Amino acid sequence: MAAYQQRGKRWRAIVRKKGHPPISKTFQTKGMAERWAKETERDMEGRAFRDPRQLENLTVSDLIVRYRREMPDQGKTKAACLRMLEHNLGPLVLAALDKPRIIEYGRMRASEHGAGPATVAQDLIYLRGLLETARAHWDIPVSVEAATDARAVLRREGLVAASQERDRRPTPEELERLYAYWQRPALRNMTTPMHDVVCFAIASAMRLSEICAIRWDDIIKQDRTIVIRDRKHPTKKAGNDQTVPLLRDAWSIVQRQPRTEGEPRIFPFKPQSVSANFTRAVLRSKIDDLRFHDLRHHGISLLFEAGYQVQEVALVSGHRDWKQLRRYTQLEARDLHRDAP
């Protein structure tokens, strides 16, 4: 049974239930106190009660540490986002993690860190996921709605938005300028064969991380195919292996790469180093707004232009949803003119 104490004109309800620490709350009337006490006792009996006092003793960092320990299957993007949240919101107790505080975080990311709308949106997606895990898996009564409502406000302010799809492709003249840059005498003996890496990226339509991870043992010589291990997938973070064909010049480029004893990879380089070399060449060749990932876009578009069907291109690119390949076709009205039979 709950106990009730009158304090001036207000009433305090105290609920004591075996297996739960005592909890109390003060109300304007005794009737309100009795209703709250009955609901709390019913929740305790039905194992639905979540003690809100936990929120005063736990911080955002506590949630993130537990999440890393119990939900270890995290991609690089999520791990980086959790580090950002921990750095900026970590010491905050969960009771203070309300809509205004999350809105303040989003505005800070945009103004002080220069984060774009897609990046801020991604932060809030992972924050909401963290709160959903805390509430559903650990019975911590956090407010998931605070993250949802904050996202709506930031979207109205233009600080949250979906990522913009790029359709940038290198022109033949730009590629020639890059190849000429890497042929300079001072760069001919550089460790990373950037000319081959770039040509392979276009011919294979692989991501840079995939290029730097493919192995000699994964080549199926008689089929001219190769297995890409743990290929990027919207839900599966591991075990998503895919066999893809090495089309166009991709096969010959692989065959001319030197083999090093003890090194299983075909392109044994760090993706960050390759990306840095590419960015440096773009800047020094006075090419505007070209990224290494644009080579994948270019390679997929070339497959369509060569007459491959969408299901064939998907086998190369790894896209599960064929609708996502629509933006690579880049068809124009004049392209539909054909000679009459």
Supply the DSSP string of 287-335, one letter for each residue.
--S--TTHHHHHHHHHHHHTT--HHHHHHHH--S-GGGGHHHH---GGG
How many angstroms separate the CA atoms of 300 and 203, rounded? Answer: 9
How many angstroms separate the CA atoms of 56 and 209, rounded? Answer: 42
Facing residues of 228 across strands?
242
Entry pTM? 0.62
How many angstroms separate the CA atoms of 36 and 32, rounded? Answer: 6
The CATH topology of domain 55-156 is DNA polymerase; domain 1 (1.10.150)
CA–CA distances in Å: residue 229 to residues 106, 165, 214, 236, 237:
36, 26, 7, 12, 11
Scanning the structure block, which residue is given the tokens 């009730």? Answer: 4
Which CATH architecture group holds 172-336?
A: Orthogonal Bundle (1.10)
Where does CATH 1.10.150 sit in the chain? Answer: 55-156
Q: What angle do CA 47, 49, 53 make, to 5 degrees?
A: 140
pLDDT tens for the 341 residues of the chain, in order: 688 888 888 998 888 877 567 878 888 898 998 888 888 777 666 555 556 666 788 899 999 999 999 987 667 788 889 999 999 999 999 889 999 999 999 999 999 998 889 999 999 999 999 999 988 888 888 889 999 999 999 999 999 987 777 788 999 999 999 999 999 888 877 889 999 999 999 999 999 999 999 999 999 999 999 999 988 765 555 667 889 999 989 999 999 999 989 999 999 999 999 999 999 999 999 999 999 999 999 999 898 888 888 888 888 888 776 666 666 665 555 655 555 43
How many angstroms separate the CA atoms of 62 and 58, rounded? Answer: 6
Where does CATH 1.10.443.10 sit in the chain? Answer: 172-336
